Structure 1
Amino acid sequence: MEQAQLETYVVETPEQAMALLNPLRAEILSRLAEPASASEVARSIQEIPQRINYHLKALEKVGLVRRVGSRQVRNLVEVLYMAIARTYVLSEGLNWAGNTVQQIKDQGSLAHLVHTAERIKRDALKLMERSDQEEEIPSATLDAQIQLASAEARSAFVEEYMQLVKQLVSKYQTAAKGQETYQVILAVYPNEGGEEK
């Protein structure tokens, strides 16, 4: 019987934690909310399938993705993978010092931010080429700064921010075929030069 995808998974082993620190592997996991092949994931993030396949096997080895089926595509059989959960939380039972766990979380988030920024740049350049051919490209950006009084306020802000975005996505998400897909990427990080309180 196929296991349902968890909403949240508590990461219990250092091997799983280290896998999540790799920005490409974190990106792959985010693309596996639904079953997908290495080729599909590669197309969605403009990577080569062989590289994605390598990282999928590493994620499967540490138990963060699982095989959920296969399908015939021309003369090939594609394996379908799915992430075991939608979100991941590092366990306090990893027995790492609190500051080490926080550093791992921060480094993982920052590495993912760098990878995401590179992908946004690639996507924007492709869209600009289409725009040069007088094709209308609807898009939007938002750039805002907020001062947060404490680490507790920062955590509360990020939690509420994520919940509001999930509600907004759920409200407008459509399952209709043939609809244009839009990429939504949001980030929260300290302003360089600004003082963290």
Structure 2
Amino acid sequence: MGLIGNLLELVFGGGRNVVRETAEVFRENAEAGAKRDAEAQERALDQLAKEFSDREKGRFDRVMDGVNRMPRPAMAFGILLLFTLSMTDPVWFASRMQGLSLVPEPLWWLLGAIVSFYFGARHQFVGQEFQRSIAQSLARVPQVVENNRALQTLATQTNGVAKTDSEQSFELGAIVASNNPALEEWRRLTKL
């Protein structure tokens, strides 16, 4: 038992587990990995909490944060208000739109640039993607028109029925006269 005891003490003794330590070289210890992940998430949440803590910000910073959050909801609610006003008071709405029609085009371009810069390059990117998709659709129009013409020509040639080869041979068999004794007998009797 002394040799086995020494061998076991060599492998597992002294608070160490050589088998586990060797296995951890090739595969992560799941419990230790989960502990590291939890600690990293806790540190990230602490950093986020410090970033948005209002204790460190002054009154001016809080007011500016509020002002920066207002334009998008204000624009969305403004558009909904315009739709509502156009239905409730069309004359008032039409007179305001007549006023907007007098705004010079360069001023509209300036407003578009300000809105684009405010909301970032995403606005421009989405607009360019939309224009690209419209251009691709328009480029396919001649091909679609030609395909429709070919389909209409095909439909008029077949009288609206597409026939397979086997259907065509049945139809030809029905059209071609054959020697039918019963039919011949009926024709002979009806001519009397």
Higher relative contact order, structure no. (Cα contacts within 8 Å, ≥ 6 residues apart): 1
- Give the number of the structure whose alpha-carbon radius of gyration is greater: 2
Normalising by structure 1, what TM-score? 0.22
Tell me which protein shows more strand as a share of its residues.
1
Tell me which protein shows more helix as a share of its residues.
2
Normalising by structure 2, what TM-score? 0.22
